[in-house]
Amino acid sequence: MTKKALITGFTGQVGSQMADFLLEKTDYDVVGMMRWQEPMENIYHLTEQINNKERISVYYADLNDYAAMARMLKDIRPDVIFHLAAQSFPKTSFNIPIETLQTNIIGTANLLENIRQLKENEDYDPVVHVCSSSEVYGRAKPGEALAEDTKFHGASPYSISKIGTDYLGQFYGEAYGIKTYVTRMGTHTGPRRSDVFFESTVAKQIALIEAGLQEPIVKVGNLASVRTFQDARDAVRAYYLLSLESEIGNVPCGEAFNIAGEEAYKLPEVIDVLLSFSTRDDIEVQTDTDRLRPIDADYQMFDNTKIRSFIDWKPEIPTKKMFEDLLNHWRDEIKSGRVPLSR
């Protein structure tokens, strides 16, 4: 029987690329969960398949609606769930902390509690990927390689919400035997990355400048940060491989994994790389105080040792190729008439 995969957060960068991966590399039927009013930019290329019901469909639900989650799980009964939905922008979380905590913690609890009840009452036993974040480590000590046992230190309402998400994934695995595994993905980017994130807003602004839609000034926030980068397309491959190992019992229920790139950049270096791909040589960079956070996670260097002991995986897409693809994504958006907001 063909397996069913449910992706929450289907319309986001990672969710849409997870769908692309499963459709290309597996024979799974894919169900994308989304709220009815979500933007469709990242899944336009899939609409013909969705309309024709060719291995992929959409289910409208909201993490914060417990009854809707129950109905969705009973209707679909997916074999594997990639839980990627979240309020995922750290800076925004300072403005909407309650919504961030509600969606990321209570929304995850709504999903996992419904799975628990189905497991106990109807012998339903899916594999559940709970997407946490490298932001759980928060204000890490410079020079420290962040491993799975590194102490959490929340640096935003978002990171605190992901600490809750992380613990829920571990708890429901350990307490109830649900086949959960938790991932803490480091900084990731590439095509479809939201323009609220640093490297994507820089690339978007460069594309706007090249198109004559913005003066030749790129506005940025805090640049005093160093971190590893990886392409989200590499990360979804790791998500899938971990799901296979979890299904056959090789991943203990509730186990947590770092997934991170292995090429590190200071943020000014990221700007230099993106500017090197530009057709303009007159672009300036200015700090915009509106883009600064009250607290920043300034150091994010990760240890991938653990995940490599469970699956045969490493990042394959070079970061410079990833940054170039990101810039080309914004160029293509603008050429197609989808001019983004200047933010």
Q: What is the pLDDT of residues 91-111, one digit of tens each?
A: 889 999 999 999 999 999 999
Q: What are the pLDDT digits (tens) for 178-213?
A: 999 999 998 899 999 998 889 999 999 999 999 999
pLDDT at 34: 96
DSSP state of 294: S
pLDDT band at 224 (very low <50, low <70, confident <90, very high): confident
pLDDT at 162: 97
- Confidence bin at 163 (pLDDT 50/70/90): very high
d(CA 204, CA 130): 30
> Once rounded to an integer, what is the mean pLDDT over residues 250-265?
94
Q: Which residues pair with 220 in a beta bridge?
A: 287
Cβ atoms within 10 Å of 245's Cβ, excluding its own: 15
At 104, which amino acid appears? N
Residues 234, 183 contacting (CB under 8 angstroms)? no
pLDDT at 328: 97
For 26-49, give the DSSP string.
Answer: ---EEEEEE-TT---GGGGGGHHH
Asked whether the predicted pLDDT for residue 297 surpasses 60, the reply is: no
Please give the domain boundaries of the chain with CATH numbers for all domains: 4-189+231-259 (3.40.50.720), 198-226+262-299+317-335 (3.90.25.10)
* Tens of pLDDT, residues 14-71: 999 999 999 999 999 999 999 988 888 999 999 999 999 999 999 999 999 999 999 9
Decide if pLDDT at 289 tops 80.
Answer: no
Summarised one tens digit per residue, pLDDT across range 65-83 is: 999 999 999 999 999 999 9
Q: Where are the alpha helices (DSSP H) in 177-304?
A: 198-210, 232-247, 267-276
Q: What mean pLDDT value characterizes the chain?
A: 93
Amino acid at 19: A
Q: How does residue 298 score in pLDDT terms, banded at 50, 70 and 90?
A: low
Exposure of 213 in the CB half-sphere (CA atoms within 13 A): 17
Condensed to tens digits (0 to 9), the pLDDT of residues 115-130 reads 999 999 999 999 999 9
Least Cα distance to 255 among 137, 159, 174 occurs for 174
**Strands of 255-259's sheet in order across:** 56-60, 29-34, 4-8, 80-83, 127-131, 179-185, 255-259
- CA-CA-CA-CA torsion sign (17, 173, 102, 92): negative
The reported pTM is 0.93
User: Is residue 293 pLDDT above 70, yes or no?
Assistant: no
Note the pLDDT of residue 264: 87
